[in-house]
Amino acid sequence: MTDPTLHDSLSDRCVLIVEDDPATRRSLLLLLTGRGFLAVAFPTMAQALAYAAEQPPACLVADYLLEDGDGIALLESMRGSGWTGPAILISAYHSLELSGRAKSSGFDEIFDKPLREHALVDAVGRLVPGGRR
């Protein structure tokens, strides 16, 4: 049986990664877990929302274009469910319009692909105090 207090403390530190490209998703997961963060990764908005409903994450890292929606719609759905955590958007299609939409939707950071790994790790570290194991 799982200890509920352990479960709660882990979800408070967990980074939810949503990326539809399998190689990029695995890379992000390995990057963050390798730097001491707890992280889970899903390919679709639907899977991420189902997970977040059960275990609200400490931080969201989402790709802009997903198979079943986009990162902005994902964050808006999570906010509509009451989630208030920090969020990072990753996109290969960066533009001023996208930046404006992302910021107004509540994203704290926006990163272009290809990613500068250290910048993402630093941002997650700032946004999730005590998030490392």
pTM exceeding 0.75 = yes
Quick check: 75 and 105 in contact, CB under 8 A?
A: yes
> Where are the chain's structural domains?
4-126
Q: What is the pLDDT of residue 11?
A: 62
All residues at 6 or more sequence positions from 108 whose CB lies less than 8 Å from its CB, including other chains? 86, 87, 88, 123, 127
CATH fold, domain 4-126, is: Rossmann fold (3.40.50)
Q: pLDDT-based confidence at 7, cuts 50/70/90? A: very low
How does pLDDT run across 55-83, given as a tens digit for each residue?
Answer: 999 999 999 999 999 999 999 999 999 99
